[in-house]
Structure 1
Amino acid sequence: MRLLHTSDWHLGQSLHNFERNYEHQCFLDWLLDTIVAEQADALLIAGDVFDNANPSSASQRQLYRFLQQARARAPRLDLIVIAGNHDSPGRLEAPGPLLEAHGTQVIGNVPRGADGRIDVERLVLPLTGKSGAVEAWCLAIPFLRPGDVPRPEAAPAPDSGQPAAPPAADGAAASPAAADPYLAGIALLYQQAFAVAQARRQPGQAIVAMGHCHMVDGQMSNDSERRIVIGGTEMLPAGIFAPSIAYAALGHLHLAQSVGKQERIRYCGSPIPLSFAEVGYRHQILRIDIENGADAEVSSIPVPRAVELMRVPAKPAPLEQVLEELAALPADSELAPDAHPFLEVRVLLDAPQPGMRARVEAALEGKPVRLAKIETSTPSRAPSLDDAQLTLDQLGKLQPDDIFKRLYRQRFGNEAPAEQLSAFAELMLPGA
């Protein structure tokens, strides 16, 4: 059978106050065409469908229109969505009964029975092939918060033939999960769901997993990913996925990557660059072909970039050089306004530059670009107040102008000019 794996759409996201609806719609239209062209049996969406817990009506319409069109164009497609840390589990699940009637299953919250116990059975979903027969079982585990996971000491794992705390398949010890109740609870829930899938599995059927989490050694984008930090730990060992799981479809990290050098455990990454830190990412979805219920062949399908993100200059430079490069940008473009590139201007400062933004905007007048960000940096930084390791007595003797001088040296690498010191002194006058 053939699966397509995608995640981290972040519908409704804005880039420095610019809406991204056009880019997201281009991706969704492309994804619909790709589902049909690839003759996919299932689409796995591994969390962070929306950028925040209270998505706009426009971004919700984008999602539901896509789901409706996917069902219309690929009637046999199985579609599974799990919640990520950016999503509201309840909001994502709310239209669940209607979506199920159209072939989409959504797992936002960890389901519980009337007695409050986790209903693990509902986390294991069937995936059907072109014949309509079940060809795989999917462990659909949403982003887990501390209240979502079982307590290992109170809820022993089912008899699955697996150890209570499975070792990491990549050779790394699973000690973080053993030492931290939250991580141990996550490992136990995956193990319980795996046991259910094993019990249901028939000869020739595969087991796949979905999760939204941060795995050990996963590379993240600090500009656009929200860190998952609970109790000082956040990273899970690859060993939570049993060796007989054919493929693990992960979400959360925006850079496409494998985990623990195992091609069967993968982040597909975000479909569009969600910050300028992701300009160089190869955005993609993943195609997974599973044969004989076990062997998974993984290949990437590049996602076309509808809107370019530009950095001018390539490396930070003094303002006058930057203005020359901006003035040299082409003045004409055949692109529609929604497709004009987003621009980050990178300026190297050795002193404050009053009116810098106005000069940058003037240089861009008539250019078919959208100024999203002016990033400033300095050639070198003097030791900060923290680096100086001042004693409390020394800190108590510092005057406001001393702190200003130190911060100026830290920021620009040289001494504050007299006019700056004079302006600061004026601000500090009583009643100023």
Structure 2
Amino acid sequence: MTVRFFHTSDWHLGQFFYNHSRQYEHEQFLAWLIEQIKQKQPHALLIAGDIFDVINPASSAQKQLYQFLADAHAVAPHMQTLMIAGNHDSGYRIEQVEPLLSKYNAKAVGVIHKNTEGQLDLNRLLIPIYDEQQQIVAWCLSLPFLRPAEITGINEQTSDSKDAIAHLHQQLIAEAKRRKSVDQALILMSHAHMQGAETSDSERPIIIGNEEALSTTLFDEVIDYVALGHLHKPQKVGQEHIRYSGSPIPLSFSEENYKHQVLEICINPNLESSDRLQMQVLAIPRSVALHRIRGEMHEVLQQLKDLATGEIESIDQREYVDIEYYSLTPPPPNLRQQFEQALPENRYRLVRISRQYLASEQDASNAHTLQLEPPTPVQLFQNVWEKQGYAADDEVLKDFMSLVNEAQKSLEEEPNS
């Protein structure tokens, strides 16, 4: 039996980009994805983590997700939507709305649970995928972002994170082998940083129990496809069937040239191994362009003047501009004004200016960048945290971002005076 599914990840709903909301861009992506689902009618949609940008997302971001699930169910009632939590998500939060998800034929795996015997609850991690006749065509082994506190100490094989991760994969794959029939596919969905994969500067470093990126040797040969999330660049990891789908929109300027995509996968376990997997790239249209401008002052000004003209009425649809200029002298006091005046009117958002200061023309290797835009709350917090002598802590940073998000939500919900 053949299974057809979409692989996507790292939506980061609710993200703010240099204090600009990405809601419009996410709306455009989700509308495009609904159209692909309507046309292709896959058996399943896999969302491999980082659904939201922060663990306590704004109500508008949550509304985007649940409205999408309702719209997807309306155009493809038989399609299952399977989601796992990423390191940006609250696994408990996405599992709490299980009754709502079930209305739209969706399931979420947020955390690793224990059964009544205190062992790994594999039932919640093994999700059957059905065809239009309600026949099982595949099993999805669903592994959310693995936090050490959730997976260590369950038994003697899980004394540390590295052992616990290996044990979890072994147990889950063994159970999947027991359940599957010869004509059913096995798909493993995971949110993790794999060895040999290429990162961007918008991804938080993932260190699991002080262990580095994971090895693809965790994946048994019986797995037909590995649907990965966390890294934003679409890429394979070692083998054709182990892939990151990447993020649907660029989440930093370093992702300006990424080919954002959703992967359409078709697996027929009855065929020879070389023929059983078929893959098609569905290119996601970019709704708002990013421009990185580099050069000396006169070069930057000319590049800005050469950008396309034509007003864009809505500020949420205007294109982003990042400027890095090279100079041996301090910036003039009206620098931003000069750049703004050089830009075609009402089409762009100048979100970042930095100066690459060269100590001398011969010593370009000692360059360092001076930021001219005001620091964000997160940058201020990180500076204070480090000045107090504390080491960088991802969990503390996530908690702080949640507090910022709560404050933002309360401001948005205050009635106008």
Provide the TM-score with structure 1 as the length reference: 0.78
- For 1:289 and 1:335, locate their aligned partners in 2 and report how far apart those are by CA, in whole Å: 42
Map of 2:399 onto structure 1: none
Q: Mapping of 1:232-243 within 5 angstroms?
A: 232-243=210-221
Counterpart residue number, 2:169? 190
In the other structure, the counterpart of 2:283 is 302
The Cα of 1:129 is off from its aligned counterpart by 1.4
Within-5 A mapping of 1:324-343: 324-333=302-311, 336-343=314-321
Structure 1 contact 5–43 (Cα < 8 Å) conserved: yes
Q: Following TM superposition, by how much is the alpha carbon of 1:95 offset from its aligned partner in structure 2, in angstroms?
A: 0.4
2-side partners of 1:360 and 1:308: how far apart? Answer: 18
After superposition, give the CA deviation of every residue in 1:218-247 in whole Å (9 maximum; x if it has no partner): 10002x100112343231111111001000
1:255-404 correspondence to structure 2 within 5 Å? 255-260=233-238, 262-292=239-269, 295-312=276-293, 316-333=294-311, 336-355=314-333, 356-364=335-343, 366-379=345-358
| Conserved 8 A contact 1:84-1:251 | yes
Indicate the residue corresponding to 1:415 in structure 2: none
Residues 129 and 381 of structure 1: CA distance in aligned 2, closer, same or farther (over 3 Å) = farther
TM-fit CA distance, 1:153: 6.6
Label 1:34 to 1:240 Cα distance change in 2 as closer, same or farther (>3 A).
same
Change (3 A) 1:19 1:109: same
Shift of 1:147: 1.5
SS across alignment from 1:236 = coil
1:212 aligns with 2:191: yes
Shift of 1:116: 4.0
Decide whether the 8 Å contact of 1:139 with 1:208 is kept in 2. Answer: yes
Secondary structure of the residue aligned to 2:123 is helix
Q: CA deviation at 1:142?
A: 0.2
Q: Which residue identity is paired with 1:235?
A: A
The answer on whether the counterparts of 2:328 and 2:360 sit within 8 Å (CA) in structure 1 is no
For residue 114 of structure 1, report the CA deviation from its aligned partner: 4.0
Deviation at 1:197, TM superposition (A): 1.0
2-structure distance, mates of 1:207, 1:380: 57
Q: State the structure with more CA Rg.
A: 1
Cα distance, 1:299 vs. partner?
A: 2.1
Q: Using the TM superposition, give the Cα deviation of residue 94 of structure 1 relative to its aligned residue in structure 2, in angstroms.
A: 1.3
Whole-Å separation in 2 of the counterparts to 1:296 and 1:122: 26
- How many residues align? The count is 361
Alpha-carbon RMSD across the aligned residues, in angstroms, is 2.4
- What are the superposed Cα offsets for residues 25-78 of structure 1, whole Å, 9 maximum, x if unpaired? 100011011012112110000000000111110000000000111111100001
Report the Cα offset of residue 93 of structure 1: 1.2
**Once the 2 structures are TM-superposed, how far is the Cα of residue 100 of structure 1 from its aligned partner?**
1.8
The answer on 1:246 being equivalent to 2:259 is: no
Picking from 2, 5, 13, the partner of 2:4 is: 2
Provide the rounded CA distance (Å) in 2 between the counterparts of 1:3 and 1:333: 40
Amino acid at match of 2:205: R
Match of 1:35 among 34, 37, 41: 37
What one-letter code is carried by the residue in structure 1 that aligns with 2:264? R
Q: CA offset at residue 187 of structure 1?
A: 1.8
Identity of aligned residues (%): 40
Cα distance in structure 2, aligned partners of 1:69 and 1:373: 36
Give the Cα separation in 2 of the matches to 1:354 and 1:258: 46
The runs of 5 or more residues in structure 1 that have no matched partner are 157-179, 388-408, 413-432
Instruction: Say whether 1:225 aligns with 2:235.
Output: no
Q: Which 5+ residue runs of structure 2 have no aligned equivalent?
A: 370-417
Please give the per-residue CA displacement for 1:117-171, whole angstroms capped at 9, x wherever unaligned: 3212211000011221001111000000112224597148xxxxxxxxxxxxxxx
5 Å-filtered alignment, 1:138-217, equals 138-151=140-153, 154-155=156-157, 181-217=160-196
**3-state secondary structure, aligned to 2:124:** helix
Contact (CA 8 Å) 1:46, 1:250: kept in 2 or not? yes
User: In the TM superposition, what is the alpha-carbon distance from 1:8 to its structure 2 partner?
Assistant: 0.2
Q: Deviations over 1:354-403 (max 9, x none)?
A: 3222322233372411111113223467999xx9xxxxxxxxxxxxxxxx
- Structure 1 residue 298: Cα displacement: 1.9
Whole-angstrom distance in 1 between the partners of 2:368 and 2:20:
29
Partner of 1:132: 134
Distance (Å, rounded) in 1 between the aligned partners of 2:193 and 2:36: 28
The 8 Å contact of residues 318 and 349 in structure 1, kept in 2 or not, is answered as yes
Instruction: Give the Å deviation of 1:252.
Output: 0.2
Instruction: Kindly provide the amino acid, as one letter, of the partner of residue 181 in structure 2.
Output: Q
SS at the partner of 1:371? Answer: strand
Structure 2 contact 48–85 (Cα < 8 Å) conserved: yes
Aligned equivalents of 2:360 and 2:85: distance in 1? 42
Structure 2 contact 193–230 (Cα < 8 Å) conserved: yes
Residue 292 of structure 1 deviates from its aligned partner by 2.5
Mapped partners of 1:117, 1:376: distance in 2: 55
CA contact (8 A) 1:150 1:188 kept: no
Deviates more, 1:83-92 or 1:366-375: 366-375
